[in-house]
Amino acid sequence: MTRPTVNDIAREAGVSLATVDRVLNDRPGVRARTVTAVNEAIARLGYVRDMAAANLARQRSYRMVAALPEGDSQFLAVLEQALAEAGHTAAQARTELKVMRYPAEDGHALAALLAHLPEGTSGVALMAPETPVVRDAVRALKARGTAVIALVSDLPNTQRDHFIGIDSRAAGRTAGVLMGRFIRESSGSVLAIAESMYLRDAIERRRGFDEVMLAQFPGLAVLPTLETHGSDAALRAVVTESLRHAQDVRGIYLMGSGHRALSSTLADLGLTGRFVIIGHELTPHTRQALLSGHTDAIITQNLGHLARSALRVLRAMADRAPIDAAQEQLRIEIVLRENLAG
The per-residue pLDDT for 39 is 85
In this structure, the answer to whether residues 141 and 172 fall within a common structural domain is no
- State which residues form the domain around 261: 168-300
Q: Are residues 175 and 152 in the same domain?
A: no
Confidence of residue 162 (pLDDT cuts 50, 70, 90): very high
Mapped onto helix, strand or coil, the DSSP state of residue 272 is coil
Does residue 54 have a pLDDT over 80? Answer: no
* Residue 28 pLDDT > 80: no
Q: Provide Rg for the chain, Cα atoms.
A: 24
Q: What confidence category does residue 23 fall into, taking pLDDT thresholds of 50, 70 and 90?
A: confident
Backbone angles phi, psi at 277, to 5 degrees: -120, 125
Domains contained in the chain, number = 3
- Nearby residues of 47 by Cβ (< 8 Å), 6 or more positions away: 3, 4, 5, 6, 8, 9, 41
Together in a domain, 44 and 66: no
- Residue 56 above 50 pLDDT? no
Distance, in Å, from the CA atom of 209 to the CA atom of 212, rounded to the nearest integer, reads: 6
- Strands 220-222 and 249-254, bridge-based pairing: unpaired
In this prediction, residue 342 has a pLDDT band, given cuts at 50, 70 and 90, of low
Q: Count of CB atoms within 10 A of residue 306's CB?
A: 21
pLDDT at 55 over 70: no
- Residue 48's pLDDT band (boundaries 50, 70, 90)? low
Q: What is the CATH number of the domain that holds 146?
A: 3.40.50.2300
**Which SS3 state, helix, strand or coil, does residue 278 take?**
strand
Compare 54 and 106 and report the one with higher pLDDT.
Answer: 106
Structural domain contains residue 325? yes
* Phi–psi pair at 4, nearest 5 degrees: -65, 150
Domain match, 88 and 143 both? yes
CA 60 to chain CA centroid, Å, is 27
pLDDT, one tens digit per residue, over 246-285 is: 989 999 999 999 999 999 999 999 999 999 999 999 999 9
> pLDDT tens for residues 214-256?
999 999 999 999 999 999 999 999 999 999 999 899 999 999 9
pLDDT for 155? 95
User: Phi and psi of 128, rounded to 5°?
Assistant: -160, 160
Residues in the chain: 342
pLDDT in tens, 92-146: 777 889 999 999 989 999 999 999 998 889 999 999 999 999 999 999 999 988 9
Averaged pLDDT of the chain? 90
pLDDT at position 3 is 74
Model confidence band, residue 50 (pLDDT cutoffs 50, 70, 90): low
Are 158 and 253 found together in one domain? no
234 falls within a domain: yes
Q: How confident is the model at residue 57 (pLDDT cuts 50, 70, 90)?
A: very low
Segment (H or E) for 190:
strand 188-194
For residue 175, being part of any structural domain is answered with yes
Give the pLDDT score at 142: 92
Query: Is the pLDDT score of 197 beyond 70?
Result: yes
* pTM for the model: 0.81
Residue 55 lies in a domain: no
Q: Residues 101, 42: contact at Cβ < 8 Å? A: no
Same domain (yes/no): 182, 291: yes
**Any idea what the CATH number is for the domain that residue 13 is in?**
1.10.260.40
147: which strand partners?
123
pLDDT on residue 186: 85
**What's the DSSP call for residue 277?**
E
Q: E strand or H helix at 102, and its extent?
A: strand 95-102
Q: What's the mean pLDDT in 169-193?
A: 96
Based on the fold, state whether residues 126 and 153 are members of the same structural domain: yes
What would the pLDDT profile of 285-321 be if each residue is shown by its tens digit? 999 999 998 999 999 999 999 999 999 999 888 887 7
Q: What is the distance of C-alpha 237 from the center of its chain?
A: 29
Cβ atoms of 89 and 112 closer than 8 Å: no
Residues 191 and 261 in one domain: yes
